[in-house]
Amino acid sequence: MRRIWIIVAALAIGAGLMGAPGLLDSPAAAGQPPVTLPAIPTGLTSPVTPPAGLDPVSPYLPQVSCSPVDMPGPMMLRDLVIATYGVGGRGNISRGCTEGVSEHSEGRAWDWIVNVKDPVEKAAAADFIAWVTQDAGRNARRLGIMYVIYNEKIWSVYNIPAGWRASSGHTDHVHVSFAWNGARGNTSFWTGRVGTIDYGSCARFAGSYAERTDTPRAKPCGRPTSALVKTSRGDRQYGRTGGTVTRAQSLLGVARTGRFDAATWSAVRTYQRAHDLPGTGVLDQPTWASLDRASITRRVVIGYTPARAAKQGLASYARSTLAKGRAAKAVVLLQTALRLPLADRNGYLGSVTVAAVQRLQSASGLEPDGVVRAEEWQALRAATR
């Protein structure tokens, strides 16, 4: 396949050198592609029979979590592109979380190393881009691709009327960013079934990252709750370095390298799961408040005994429902009334709190479903009198 593609590319490049404009031109004007695209691209072959219908157009879904683990969709596309064209470098998918908003930080972007100055690599990039973007992005939708960047131009499936818009860099690689359905590989190109829009992970606390989950989300995220705690520690994520990272490593019991590496990321997630925090893998304010309680400078809920918390909960939240995944001031009151350890009173209703609620329900003759309603607040009020 590599030899055949090189021959085809060489013929195309030869045509360009003999007078046809474009294949070796500088970046095109606004609205035009970054390089001259073939009218009938070779493209990729799906491993399944595609359905008649098309996957829906995903909106722009920017990075919300810090989860530097390669996702299956980008890995499958990388392997197929390299096998099909036989040129260019494999590039990278996941990266650190220190470069601003980037789907690389969630493992749902891929860089194919094909330099615009190399005629053969440029021809391969042109064929792939033409195939992805043709017919109003038909194949981009089948793959769950959000946008493509190459040679200082960007094209997005969610803004097709704009065509190719000005961007920067990316002259030595094609950048491909995926929506969540494409990142998970849950699209028709791979499954043979029309997929659905997947809105991905949701941040629970304002100013914090989201916890990446394996479960697709069919609805947009709601508004995250306001921060319930503030500390003197700065937020740190995968890829950061310095003394604050070293301090966290000491508290977590991992090697004190001063670099937020994979071992630290895993240790943070393990700690978060054990102490009812969203498993962001990030040293955010809720995590610092639990891990290093001496660093707390402000708390929304303070000075409550279990009895007072139960009384306040019954008075203020008896008409509402608290279920797993909720983040709110009410959850802190619940955790206090349940007498959870201070390190676990973080305002997030995770597995630790659910288990404590179920124990309360079983002891009170209620259905042990882990959901808090008026009956649970009443049981807590009775238990803390």
Residue 28: its pLDDT value, please? 42
| Cα 126 from Cα 368, distance rounded (Å) | 59
350 shares a domain with 379: yes
Residue 115: how many CB atoms within 10 A of its CB? Answer: 16
Which of the listed residues 299, 330, 354 is the one where a domain comes to its end? 299
- Within a domain: residue 211? no
279 shares a domain with 333: no
174 shares a domain with 275: no
145 shares a domain with 54: yes
| Cα 280 from Cα 289, distance rounded (Å) | 15
352 shares a domain with 247: no
- Within a domain: residue 271? yes
311 shares a domain with 295: no
Residue 16: its pLDDT value, please? 36
Residue 230: helix, strand or coil by DSSP?
strand
- Our count of domains for the chain comes to 3
- Within a domain: residue 55? yes
Nearest to 201 by CA among 274, 332, 286, 107: 107
Contact 23, 16 (CB under 8 A): yes
| Cα 226 from Cα 323, distance rounded (Å) | 18
151 shares a domain with 24: yes
347 shares a domain with 245: no
- Within a domain: residue 57? yes
Please list the alpha-helical segments (H only) found in the chain.
2-17, 72-85, 119-143, 180-184, 188-191, 243-252, 262-274, 285-291, 306-317, 329-337, 351-363, 374-383
125 shares a domain with 64: yes
- Within a domain: residue 203? no
Angle between helices 119-143 and 2-17 (to 10 degrees): 110
369 shares a domain with 288: no
122 shares a domain with 35: yes
Q: What is the CATH number of the domain that holds 333?
A: 1.10.101.10
Which of the listed residues 267, 299, 331 is the one where a domain comes to its end? 299
Rounded (5°) CA angle 105-115-10: 140
- Within a domain: residue 218? no
Which of the listed residues 252, 280, 299 is the one where a domain comes to its end? 299
pLDDT tens digit at each of 385 positions of the chain:
544 454 344 434 333 322 332 333 334 445 899 999 999 999 999 999 999 999 999 999 999 999 989 999 999 999 999 999 999 999 999 999 998 899 999 999 999 999 999 999 999 999 999 999 999 999 999 999 999 999 999 999 999 999 999 999 999 999 999 999 999 999 999 999 999 999 999 999 999 999 988 899 999 999 999 999 999 999 999 999 999 999 999 999 999 999 999 999 999 999 999 999 999 999 999 999 999 999 999 999 999 999 999 999 999 999 999 999 999 999 999 999 999 999 999 999 999 999 999 999 999 999 999 999 999 999 999 999 8
**pTM for this entry:** 0.87
Owning domain of residue 244: 229-299
253 shares a domain with 127: no
- Within a domain: residue 21? yes
- Within a domain: residue 30? yes
